[in-house]
Amino acid sequence: MSRIIDTGLEEQSVIIVRMGELAFETLTLSVHGYIEGRSVQDKVQELSDILLSMADKVEDETFQLIARYQPVATDLRTIKSYMKIANDFARYGRYALDISYIGDELCGLNRCEMWIRDYINEMSEKVLRMVRISVDSLRKQDVILAKTVAQLEREVDKMYYAFFNKLINSDCVDVKRVISSSLMIRYLERIADHAIYVCESIVYIVTGEKLDLD
Q: Is residue 11 part of a domain?
A: yes
Q: Is residue 126 part of a domain?
A: yes
Q: Is residue 154 part of a domain?
A: yes
Q: Place 172 in a pLDDT band, splitting at 50, 70 and 90.
A: low
Q: CA 176, CA 106: separation in Å to the nearest integer?
A: 6
pTM, to two decimals: 0.92
Structural domain count, the chain: 1
- How does pLDDT run across 55-110, given as a tens digit for each residue? 998 888 888 877 777 777 787 888 889 999 999 999 999 999 999 999 888 876 77
Find out whether 110 and 157 touch, Cβ atoms under 8 Å. Answer: no
pLDDT value for 8: 76
What CATH number is attached to the domain comprising 107? 1.20.58.220
- How does pLDDT run across 119-171, given as a tens digit for each residue? 999 999 999 999 999 999 999 999 999 999 999 999 999 999 999 888 888 77
Q: Is residue 212 part of a domain?
A: no
DSSP category for residue 148: T
Q: CA 182, CA 121: separation in Å to the nearest integer?
A: 14
